Structure 1
Amino acid sequence: MSLYSDYPAARTRQIVADSVGVVAVIIVIAIASAVTAAIRTLGSFGRDLEAAGLDFQEGLSGAADALGDVPLIGDGIRGPFDAAASAGASVAEAGRGQQQFVEFVAISTGLTVALIPLLLLTLLWVLPRVRFARRSSALRRMLAGGMTADTLAARAVARAPLAQLVAVHPDPAAAWRSHDPKALRALAAIELRRAGIRLDALP
C-alpha cells in the first residue's frame, strides 16, 4: 500500500500530519486516562463508608453473639445489637453503591473525553489518509497493468476540479477527444498527482 506521495512537498505534509495525528492520539488517551483516574479518587469516600459499616457490623455482631450466650436473657438482649448490626450492613452496602456509581461515571467520562476527539481525528486525518492510500495503490496497480495516458486523462476530465482542467486546456474535453498528446499527458498528470504519483510512472 502506498502511504505517501512521490512529490516531496506533499510527502512532507503527509508525514507531518501523521506525526501530529499520532501525538494527538497519545495526548487524548493520556488526558482521558487522567480524567478517569481523577474521578475514581472520589470513590475513596465510598470505600471509607463501606469499611466503617463493616467494622460497625462486625463489632455489634460480635457483641450480640457474646450477649446471646448469657443464660435466660441472652436472646432478648441481642435483638437490638442484631438490628444495629443490620444498619451497619446497610451503611456498607451504601458505600459499595457509591463506589460503583463513581466507577461508572469515571469510565463514562473517560470514554467521552477520548471518543469525541478520536472521532474528529478519524474524520479529519485517518479517513483522508486511508482514501489517499487506497487511491494511490489502486492507480499504481492499474499503471502496472498498462493503463494509458488516454484513460488517465478521461478520469481527470471526469473527476478533477475545473480550475485545474482549464489550466491545461480551455476545453479539456475537446482536447481529450482529439487525442492531443501534449494535452493528454497534462491531463493524465493531474490525475496522477491526485494519487501522489509522478508523471514519469506513466508507461
Structure 2
Amino acid sequence: MVLYSDYAPARTRQIVADVIAGAVAALAIALAAAVAGAIRALGAFGRDLEAAGLDFQSGLTDAADSLGGIPLIGDGIRGPFDLAAGAGGSVAEAGRQQQAFVELIAATTGWLIALLPLTVLALVWLLPRIRFAVRKRRLRAMIAAGMTADTLAARAVARAPLRQLVAVHPDPAAAWRSNDPALVRALAGVELRRAGIAADALP
C-alpha cells in the first residue's frame, strides 16, 4: 500500500500516528462545536429581548389602532401609542443585533479553535504523510521503468543520513565506487527503506 511503509516497525509508527492525528482532529472539531454552541446559548437574551420588543410593539400598535378609530380625538390619542410602539421596535432591533453579534463571536471562536490545531496537524502530520506516499509511488514507478541498484545507491549516498550509510560501509562513497554488487545493493536498500519500499522490489 502506497500510504504505508513495507517495513513493519515504520508501518506501525505510521498507523499509530494516523490514529492519533484522527483523534486530535475529531477532538478539535468537537471542542470547537461545543464552544460555539455554548456561546450561541448567550443569544437567548437577544431572542427574549426581540420577542419582548415585538410583543410590546404589537400590543401598543393594536391599542393605537383601536383608539385611533374614536371620532374627533382618535388621531390625537394614538400619537403617544405610536411613539411607544416605535420604542418597542427599537428594543426588538437591539435584540436582533445582540443575536447577530453573538453568532459572529460563536462562529469566529469555533473556527479559530478548530483551525489552529488542524493547521498544526496538517504541517506536522498530513504534509509528511503526503510526501511519503508521493515519494514511494514515484520510486516504485522508477524501479518498474528500469531504475537500477547503482542509481538507487547513488541517490542514497547523496541524500541519506550519514548514520544510515556508515551502517553499510565506513566509507559509503568508496563502497558505491567499488561497484561491489553486494555493497551497491546494500546502499540501494538504504534508499528503498527511506521510501518505505521492501528490498525485494528491486530486481
Matched with 1:79 is: 79
Matched with 2:149 is: 149
Runs of 4+ in 1 over 4 A off after TM superposition: none
How far the C-alpha of 1:143 sits from its partner, in A, is 1.1
Q: Deviations over 1:150-190 (max 9, x none)?
A: 00011111111122222222221222223222221111111
Q: Deviations over 1:82-133 (max 9, x none)?
A: 0000000000000000000000000000000000010111111111111111
Decide which moves more: 8-17 or 52-61.
8-17
Aligned length: 203
Which amino acid in the other structure matches residue 126 of structure 1? L
Structure 2 gaps of 5+ residues are none
How far the C-alpha of 1:47 sits from its partner, in A, is 0.1
Q: How does 1:48-59 map to 2 (within 5 A)?
A: 48-59=48-59
Matched with 2:19 is: 19
Which amino acid in the other structure matches residue 105 of structure 1? I
Equivalent-residue separation in structure 2 for 1:29 and 1:41 (angstroms): 18
Equivalent-residue separation in structure 2 for 1:175 and 1:95 (angstroms): 79
Q: Deviations over 1:52-80 (max 9, x none)?
A: 00000001111111111111111111111
Which amino acid in the other structure matches residue 21 of structure 1? A
Structure 1 gaps of 5+ residues are none
Which amino acid in the other structure matches residue 5 of structure 1? S
Equivalent-residue separation in structure 2 for 1:179 and 1:199 (angstroms): 18
Q: How does 1:130-169 map to 2 (within 5 A)?
A: 130-169=130-169
How far the C-alpha of 1:17 sits from its partner, in A, is 1.1
Matched with 2:60 is: 60
Could you tell me the percent identity over the aligned residues? 70
Equivalent-residue separation in structure 2 for 1:8 and 1:168 (angstroms): 21
How far the C-alpha of 1:140 sits from its partner, in A, is 0.9
Equivalent-residue separation in structure 2 for 1:167 and 1:7 (angstroms): 18
Equivalent-residue separation in structure 1 for 2:178 and 2:43 (angstroms): 76
Q: How does 1:83-162 map to 2 (within 5 A)?
A: 83-162=83-162
Matched with 1:36 is: 36
Which amino acid in the other structure matches residue 70 of structure 1? I
How far the C-alpha of 1:146 sits from its partner, in A, is 1.4
Q: Deviations over 1:13-58 (max 9, x none)?
A: 1111111111221111111111111110000000000000000000
Decide which moves more: 18-27 or 116-125.
18-27
TM-score normalised by the chain length of structure 1: 0.97
